[in-house]
Amino acid sequence: MPGSPTPRPTKALDTYALVGTALQLRGTPYVDGGASPRGFDCSGFTQYVFAQYGVRLPRSVEDQYRTGSRIDPKSLSDGDLLFFATTSNGASHVGIVIGSDQFVHAPSSTGVVRVERLSSDYWARRFVGARRIR
């Protein structure tokens, strides 16, 4: 159900391991509607990575944007979700913070899961918010 609280894992979320899992998927092809290591779209990627740690995220970007806690961009930490307006005015793209101004995501424009910088002109202009799922 959209806007429902995220079911919590039975133990604390290991964000170090979560980021490691996300980075191991670099190079996986973009597939519209994809949610497996055979191919991901952006929200399928975040949903899959978090599921490996017992956290169920909603499937759509919009629903993921309503999940967890809103956080100040100055307080980002590994494993936080970043949201961007790429195809519409609201949140339409999502990635996972991996530290040092970087995030990993499944962008359709490049065709594979990859790492980008939040401070790059393209992403900074499209940033709409961040959420913490813990």
In the set 105, 123, 130, 132, the catalytic residue is 105
User: What is the per-residue DSSP string for 76-127?
Assistant: --TT-EEEE-SSSSS--EEEEEEETTEEEE--TTTSB-EEEETTSHHHHHHE
Listed by start position, the domains of the chain span 15-132
Active site residue 3: no
Active site residue 93: yes
pLDDT in tens, 52-65: 999 999 999 999 99
Q: Which CATH architecture has domain 15-132?
A: Alpha-Beta Complex (3.90)
In the set 18, 22, 42, 113, the catalytic residue is 42
Interval 74-99 mean pLDDT:
96
Interval 104-127 mean pLDDT:
94
What global pTM score does this model have?
Answer: 0.90
Amino acid sitting at position 107: P
In the set 80, 93, 95, 133, the catalytic residue is 93
